[in-house]
């Protein structure tokens, strides 16, 4: 794996690549900025890529007090200040990263130029999902992070990825099982308690692109399509042959979807 070096700003480790319009890449659970490996070169040709490790993941310390979607959205704005980004940024978030991108759009829309919401959803956890988060917290505490990673892995990628690109699963397993119990359990609590983003969707005035793997089992296409319909200036791209980790499973299609969105943003005054 070839990755940009880790740097630090605003209490977060991050990786940076490329030059041009700033683009913030927000990773999924329970991963790190390393999941953007197939994006650094391609997107770095058209943008200045900033990819933080969220608190307690990768090289970033735990947040104290524990983070919430809203507190982390504020910390990410501090991060942008510390890396001297004042120009509005394009935020690309996948799954948990998408929840955060929506929190940034709710709280700091003036700092954003556009949103890419990949394999994510606006719905909060229902009662069963909240109970499952609590169960996963106990599993991680009693049996370690690997136990929850093995339970998650089969759902994270499309069957075709599992058959033809087993290296993607190895990469996910390595990245996820290297995370700490404290980081993972803090994130599970933040995800469990996240607000319902649906009421705010109609208020998003930023150009937005929704991307979803056509075989995503965790945030399925019908859920992504509903979200896209509720956002006024939104375009939608389904990626065939991808599951939940569309950026890793179909990097060329994912990169093309982000690059074409950027091109539209650049051509619009
Ligand atoms: C993710 O990929 O970030 C997670 O599946 C999000 C979640 O568990 O809600």
User: What confidence tens digit (pLDDT) does each residue in 31-58 have?
Assistant: 999 999 999 999 999 999 999 999 999 9
pLDDT of residue 2: 82
Beta-strand relationship, 47-52 and 6-9 = unpaired
What are the pocket residues of ligand 1 if the criterion is a CB atom closer than 6 Å to any ligand atom? 28-29, 95-96, 191, 218
pLDDT (mean) for 213-220: 98
Beta-strand relationship, 21-26 and 47-52 = parallel
Q: What is the pLDDT of residues 16-36, one digit of tens each?
A: 999 999 999 999 999 999 999
pLDDT of residue 83: 98
Residue among 95, 98, 128, 151 whose CB has most ligand 1 atoms within 8 A, to mutate: 95
pLDDT of residue 269: 67
Q: What is the pLDDT of residues 163-193, one digit of tens each?
A: 999 999 999 999 999 999 999 999 999 999 9
Q: What is the pLDDT of residues 111-145, one digit of tens each?
A: 999 999 999 999 999 999 999 999 999 999 999 99
Q: How far is the CA of 45 from the centre of ligand 1 (A)?
A: 28
pLDDT (mean) for 239-253: 98
The residue whose CA is least distant from atom 7 of ligand 1 is: 96
The residue whose CA is least distant from atom 4 of ligand 1 is: 29
Residue among 102, 183, 219 whose CB has most ligand 1 atoms within 8 A, to mutate: 219
CB atoms under 10 Å from CB of 51, counted, come to 28
pLDDT of residue 61: 97
Q: How far is the CA of 96 from the centre of ligand 1 (A)?
A: 5
pLDDT of residue 268: 78
Q: How far is the CA of 268 from the centre of ligand 1 (A)?
A: 32
Contact yes or no for 104/77 (Cβ under 8 A): yes
The residue whose CA is least distant from atom 6 of ligand 1 is: 96
Q: How far is the CA of 42 from the centre of ligand 1 (A)?
A: 25
pLDDT of residue 153: 93
| Number of the ligand 1 atom closest to the C-alpha atom of 97 | 3
Q: How far is the CA of 120 from the centre of ligand 1 (A)?
A: 8
Q: How far is the CA of 191 from the centre of ligand 1 (A)?
A: 8
pLDDT of residue 1: 57
Residue among 191, 193, 216 whose CB has most ligand 1 atoms within 8 A, to mutate: 191
Q: Mean pLDDT across the chain, nearest whole number?
A: 97
């Amino acid at each position: 794996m070839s990755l940009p070096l880790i740097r630090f700003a605003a209490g977060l480790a991050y990786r940076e690549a490329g030059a041009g319009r700033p683009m913030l890449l927000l990773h999924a659970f329970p991963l790190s900025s390393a999941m953007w490996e197939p994006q650094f070169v391609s997107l770095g040709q058209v943008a200045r890529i900033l990819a933080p490790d969220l608190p307690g993941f990768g090289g970033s310390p735990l947040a104290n007090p524990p983070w919430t979607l809203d507190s982390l959205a504020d910390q990410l704005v501090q991060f942008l200040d510390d890396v001297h980004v004042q120009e509005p940024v394009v935020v690309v978030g996948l799954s948990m990263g998408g929840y955060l991108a929506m929190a940034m759009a709710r709280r700091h829309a003036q700092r954003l130029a556009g949103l890419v919401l990949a394999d994510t959803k606006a719905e909060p956890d229902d009662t069963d999902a909240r109970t499952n988060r609590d169960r996963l917290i106990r599993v991680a505490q009693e049996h370690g992070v690997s136990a929850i990673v093995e339970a998650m892995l089969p759902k994270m990628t499309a069957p075709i990825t599992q058959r033809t690109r087993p290296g993607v699963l190895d990469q996910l397993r390595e990245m996820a099982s290297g995370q700490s119990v404290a980081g993972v359990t803090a994130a599970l609590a933040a995800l469990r308690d996240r607000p319902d983003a649906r009421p705010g969707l109609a208020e998003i005035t930023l150009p937005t692109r929704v991307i979803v793997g056509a075989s995503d089992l965790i945030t399925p296409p019908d859920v992504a399509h509903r979200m896209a319909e509720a956002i006024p200036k939104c375009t939608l791209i389904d990626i065939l042959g991808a599951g939940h980790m569309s950026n890793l499973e179909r990097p060329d299609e994912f990169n093309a979807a982000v690059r074409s969105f950027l091109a539209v943003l650049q051509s619009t005054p």
